[in-house]
Amino acid sequence: MAYDLPALFGPHGWATWAELTDRIDRSTLTAWVAAGSVRRIQPGVYALPAVADDWRVRVRAAVRACEGVLSHHTALALWGLLPPGGPVHLTVDLARSGRGPAGVVLHRSRDVTDPLRRVDGLPVTCAERAVVDTWGRPHGAHRSDLRAAAITAVRRRLCLPRQLAGEIERRPCLPGRAALVDLVGLLADGCQSELEIWGCLQVLRAPGMPRFTQQRRVTVGGRVHRLDAAYDDVLLAVEMDGAAWHGSREQRERDIRRDALLATVGWQTLRFSYRRLTGEPEECRREIRSVHAARRRLLLGGVH
């Protein structure tokens, strides 16, 4: 009897042993596997060769085979915070064995369901848990990529800094804990990129610099604008422009319009490029101090 394999395996190209043997006999499935027309990708899970190496298919198959919650690097990939690939990471109950099938890394935990979320219908740990889990057990991920994942998670509102801090609090022995605590503190202060972190630590918070507010909200014409750093006493804004985001002509034009709009309610804006902030931090500090002092004289009548 001839079978239509794509129809048999469905739109995603994979199915379980139980689903397949409801419609075909076991010897037929075994023969297909031996011939290479079907591949066993997890215990009890089979796929057509065309999709057998697809990362998302492997992820779904691992969930079906191991009945865990996707976590660590895999969870970050599903949240869009790391590129997909590598072994599938699953967290399972503490009572389960920690040995997983080929291509699957199992992590044992006593609170598997507490951080459970759903992404594309799949069980996934929450973004803050995934960041902290992977920070402690990176499995080949670079620390710079994990920093970027934490920053992006907060900027995209997948989690809050206080939620990251809560996860860290649960892990007193987390490898690299101090560095992550420092990063989360900067995110809680309002930093939203590595450039803002650099500018905050190396320029804005340097000795002798005036006090400022991060991510200051200013409403003009019914629209809310966020200032990277604001000196409210003199209505001075400092913007830190990353090369990737602010390098296009269109974005520069938007920046000019935004600065002009803020000027209508009294704000002066200083903009510093990535090159200037990282290559000439003292020049940036000197310029901020100079403009701040000039505006104090202008707006406050020479008050010091």
Q: What is the CATH number of the domain that holds 243?
A: 3.40.960.10
- Average of pLDDT values for 41-63? 93
* Residue keyed to tokens 């907060």: 154
Residues 183 and 65 in one domain: yes
- Average of pLDDT values for 24-28? 92
The residue among 53, 75, 92 that closes a domain is 53
Is the pLDDT reported for residue 247 higher than 80?
A: no
The predicted pLDDT at position 99 comes to: 86
Q: What is the mean pLDDT of the chain?
A: 92
The predicted pLDDT at position 3 comes to: 83
- Average of pLDDT values for 146-161? 97
Per-residue H/E/C for the chain: CCCCHHHHHCCCCEEEHHHHHCCCCHHHHHHHHHHCCCEEEECCEEECCCCCCCHHHHHHHHHHHHCCEECHHHHHHHCCCCCCCCCEEEEEECCCCCCCCCCEEEEEECCCCCCEEEECCEEEECHHHHHHHHHHCCCCCCHHHHHHHHHHHHHCCCCCHHHHHHHHHCCCCCCCHHHHHHHHHHHHHCCCCHHHHHHHHHHHCCCCCCCCEEEEEEEECCEEEEEEEEECCCCEEEEEECHHHHCCHHHHHHHHHHHHHHHCCCCEEEEEEHHHHHHCHHHHHHHHHHHHHHHHHHHHCCCC
Count of domains for the chain: 3
The residue among 162, 189, 216 that closes a domain is 189
Residues 47 and 25 in one domain: yes
The predicted pLDDT at position 17 comes to: 92
Residues 291 and 231 in one domain: yes
Q: What is the pLDDT of residues 261-302, one digit of tens each?
A: 999 999 999 999 999 999 999 999 999 999 999 999 998 775
- Average of pLDDT values for 54-73? 93
Is the pLDDT reported for residue 303 higher than 70?
A: no
Is the pLDDT reported for residue 244 higher than 60?
A: no
The residue among 161, 189, 217 that closes a domain is 189
Residues 60 and 121 in one domain: yes
Range scoring the smallest mean pLDDT among 18-32, 99-113, 204-218, 237-251:
237-251
The predicted pLDDT at position 221 comes to: 86
Residues 44 and 126 in one domain: no
Residues 181 and 229 in one domain: no
The predicted pLDDT at position 300 comes to: 78
Residues 125 and 182 in one domain: yes
Residues 125 and 208 in one domain: no
Q: Name every residue whose Cβ is closer than 8 Å to that of residue 146 and which is 6 or more positions away in sequence.
A: 131, 134, 135, 138
Residues 30 and 106 in one domain: no
Residues 213 and 268 in one domain: yes
- pTM comes to 0.85
Residues 65 and 167 in one domain: yes
Residues 131 and 235 in one domain: no
Q: What is the pLDDT of residues 191-216, one digit of tens each?
A: 999 999 999 999 999 999 999 999 99
Q: Name every residue whose Cβ is closer than 8 Å to that of residue 206 and which is 6 or more positions away in sequence.
A: 281, 285
108 conformational bin, left if phi > 0, alpha if psi -120 to 50, beta if neither: beta
The predicted pLDDT at position 249 comes to: 80
Note down the domain range covering 206.
195-300
- Average of pLDDT values for 136-140? 91
